[in-house]
Structure 1
Amino acid sequence: MTNFVLVPGAWLGAWAWDEVAGLLRAEGHEVYAVTLSGLAERHGPDSAQVGQSQHVEDIVSVVEGNDLRDVVLAGHSYAGIPVGQAATRIGDRLRRVVYVDSNIPTDGKSFIDGWSDEGRAWVEDQMAESGGFWPPLTAEDYVDQDLSDQAIAVIVSRSTPHPGRAISEPAQLVRPIGQLQTTYIKCLMDGADPSRDVAEQLRSPDWELAELPTGHWPMFSQPAALAKIFSGLA
């Protein structure tokens, strides 16, 4: 039995993993889906001030608070940044890190530091207009990502504004992420090639690449295929 700790990306809560978690539990694994501070049922008026360092603490607390061992720690999209940092802190409790079409942490850099000047100005304008939050995507943003109309409706209706501080606060690594046993899952409909920083890490013998022919939200579009990759790492 493996302990899976699953962390959703921007705007989402633990609910995003419901289908994948059910498939893994049916195979006998333990699954801990995490809602990060300031999101979903943990969202509140002051959530804009939640930083990604708090999200790291959220993840570490789940692992250490439940005394988990043999942990497969997975993060989707934005969550790759706090997941990568948490993975460097939990020591021999970790079995493997899994990045699901996600960003990865770079010491001293934030989620938006790698964006173009135009992209950064766009998101900063959005945060200024929404009281420090990064507003959720609209239904149109999920088109051509292998999602059913029903899945899109659920995602849009259940998404919550993302804490702006979390995407602008720099990461702090206590050891290089390239030294950790890692699987990077690239969702091909969201771009066929990994980003430059991911490609650099994939040179490490401890990193491997897996691919899924789907969009950026595989927990909704291809949950069985995603769960199969996860269970293969157990």
Structure 2
Amino acid sequence: MTTTTSSQPIILIAGHWLGAWAWDEVLEHLETDHSRAVAVTLPGLDRDDPERATKTLDDQAAAVLDIFARHGVSDEQPATIVAHSGANAPVSLVLDRHPELVDQVVWVDSGPVAAGSVFAPDLPEGVEELPLPSLDVLAQQASLEGLSAEVLERFRARAVPEPGPVLRQPVELTNDARRKVRTTLVCCSIPGTQLLELAHAGHAMFAEVANIEHLEVIDLPTGHWPMWSRPGDLAKVIQSASSRAI
């Protein structure tokens, strides 16, 4: 088990279709008496919420800020945010609105989005939610490397459809101070050198990375869901980033 020496809050947020449960194996390596690691289920991804399909990116960002408040996050005690995949949109909003509350962000096979970004601009207004696609389709969109049949079955069983409003809402960003927040990119399904090349070439998905002022890039080769394929190694990366934030 990884030992943590920081009392700084660590807020873990998984991507599309996932709730706090996605971090269970990582938390087994992070949690000690001195740790304050908290996994989050964003609004819209709680299966028991009858209004979940109406939730927006603004709702999700507000929920993260509420988690901050409940765990004593302040400008004097900022948090480390760990954001995986599609959590990048609401976390980018949090960084834009309250950069003083975040000491460091760890992007897990993900990265900050640019102003005006929309995840699914062509998703019709009549589509209330987007369920997890078939594994064949999913494998075309993201690497499944390192995931056993058992893990994939659990993913399918526990996945919650992503709310349509979250996927259609443009990300409005106005505060350049978000780019000053210390940042770690954990590169899993694409090597860090390739990602940086794409960022500096202005690739729409990665261009915002080129604007980050304090950046560390760490390669953790595996598929797009390292919290399941390499949970112990991912915990070590998170632990190291949080420790450097002291």
> Normalized against structure 2, the TM-score is what?
0.80
Give the equivalent residue in structure 1 for 2:189.
188
| Runs (5+) with no aligned partner, structure 1 | 114-119
- Give matches, 1:1-234, under 5 Å: 1=6, 2-26=8-32, 28-44=34-50, 46-68=51-73, 69-113=77-121, 120=122, 124=123, 128=126, 131-140=127-136, 141-142=138-139, 144-176=144-176, 177-188=178-189, 193-194=194-195, 196=203, 197-198=205-206, 200-202=208-210, 204-234=212-242
| Deviation, structure 1 residue 65 | 2.9
| Deviation, structure 1 residue 43 | 4.0
Distance 1:190 1:79, change over 3 A: farther
| Runs (5+) with no aligned partner, structure 2 | 1-5
Distance 1:110 1:200, change over 3 A: closer
Distance 1:53 1:42, change over 3 A: farther
Give me the whole-angstrom Cα distance separating, in 2, the residues matched to 1:49 and 1:41: 13
Q: Secondary structure at the match of 1:75?
A: strand
Distance 1:144 1:32, change over 3 A: closer
Opposite residue 166 of structure 1, the aligned amino acid is V
Distance 1:92 1:104, change over 3 A: closer
1:137-173 CA-partner distances (Å, limit 9, x unpaired): 3233357421011111111100011101101101122
| Count of paired positions | 221
Give me the whole-angstrom Cα distance separating, in 2, the residues matched to 1:133 and 1:148: 27
Distance 1:27 1:174, change over 3 A: farther
> Normalized against structure 1, the TM-score is what?
0.84
Q: Secondary structure at the match of 2:104?
A: strand
Distance 1:43 1:105, change over 3 A: farther
1:201-221 CA-partner distances (Å, limit 9, x unpaired): 246441221111100001011
Q: Secondary structure at the match of 1:233?
A: helix
Checking the alignment, whether the CA contact within 8 Å between 1:106 and 1:173 is kept in structure 2 is yes
Checking the alignment, whether the CA contact within 8 Å between 1:137 and 1:156 is kept in structure 2 is no
Give me the whole-angstrom Cα distance separating, in 2, the residues matched to 1:135 and 1:183: 30
Higher mean alpha-carbon deviation, 79-88 vs 23-32, is at: 23-32
Opposite residue 132 of structure 2, the aligned amino acid is P
Percent identity (aligned): 28
1:184-231 CA-partner distances (Å, limit 9, x unpaired): 111136998325343552464412211111000010111011111100
Give me the whole-angstrom Cα distance separating, in 2, the residues matched to 1:203 and 1:91: 15
Distance 1:145 1:230, change over 3 A: same
Opposite residue 25 of structure 2, the aligned amino acid is E
